[in-house]
Amino acid sequence: MDMKVGRLRASGPKRKRGPGRPQKSANGDDARERILDAAENLFAHHGLDAVSVRDVARKAHVDTALVHYYFATKRGVFDAVFQRRAAILNKERIAMIDAYEAAPGPGGVTVEGLIEAFLSPLFDASVKGGPKWKDYFALIAQVNNNPDWGGETMARFFDPVIRHLIAALRRALPSARDEDLFWSYHFLSGALTLTFAQTGRIDLLSDGLCKSTDFAAASARLSRYIAAGFEAVCVSRSIVRKRTK
């Protein structure tokens, strides 16, 4: 009798997983990516506050419990969306800056060359990466303009690569003051944010001559424009200080 009961217990039904608990398989990874893709699109078009976990689950075609299982809260989803592509961009930008400094060409390291190394992975992703990357850049533009928590979020995910650029610019502009470098980067960030926001402002201003969605055109001009600003602020101020001593 005891042996029979033992056999029944051994062959009995397996415990069911809790609600929302994914199978440890490729299907689970796929569901997680679908959730991130859905959230990225919704956040980019409607903002964090206007989107609910239920909205994300509905768009990803999953149960809301699965969203909570992977990310706990809506802010957890948002941070995971932000981190996913930030990690890719930061790695590529640091590699580009380092590669440029190691082999800058006959003219040596220039401010424009450093800015181009910093920006090129962004524009490459925006031009070649498809609508998901465009959603991500629109999301960055929103966050960078948020006065409540935007600064903290941008600092958490992007400050390491920005400080890497600032350090390289210090080497290229040894007489520059740190406050001038940081203000100049602040202006770079503003220009980049407006460019990636794709508001259509330049379309209207130029009567259609320029398109806010034309990242190739922006990429061809932005590095030169920003480099000239860095040099005007950092180099010119340094020369004026020397003359007044």
Among 72, 107, 135, the domain boundary falls at: 72
Is residue 2 pLDDT above 60, yes or no?
no
| Residue 205 belongs to domain with CATH number | 1.10.357.10
Is residue 190 pLDDT above 50, yes or no?
yes
Do 99 and 206 lie in one domain? The reply is: yes
Residue 28 is predicted with a pLDDT of: 64
- C-beta pairs of 103-111 under 8 Å, 24+ apart in sequence: 109/168, 109/171, 109/172, 110/172, 110/227, 111/169, 111/172, 111/173, 111/227, 111/230, 111/231
Stated pTM of the model: 0.81
Do 38 and 130 lie in one domain? The reply is: no
| Residue 66 belongs to domain with CATH number | 1.10.10.60
Average pLDDT over every residue of 6-19: 44
Average pLDDT over every residue of 218-224: 95
pLDDT in tens, 26-42: 456 799 999 999 999 99
Among 72, 97, 113, the domain boundary falls at: 72
pLDDT in tens, 97-106: 999 999 998 9
Instruction: Quote the percentage of the chain above a pLDDT of 90.
Output: 74
pLDDT in tens, 116-162: 999 999 999 988 988 999 899 999 999 998 899 999 999 999 999 99
Among 53, 72, 91, the domain boundary falls at: 72
Do 147 and 176 lie in one domain? The reply is: yes
Tokens at 4, concatenated: 């029979």
Q: How far apart are CA 66 and CA 235, in angstroms?
A: 54
Domain that holds residue 161: 83-244
Query: What average pLDDT does the chain have?
Result: 87
Q: Is 234 inside a domain boundary?
A: yes
Average pLDDT over every residue of 191-209: 94
Do 114 and 58 lie in one domain? The reply is: no
* Overall domain count for the chain: 2
Q: How far apart are CA 37 and CA 56, in angstroms?
A: 9
Average pLDDT over every residue of 159-181: 97
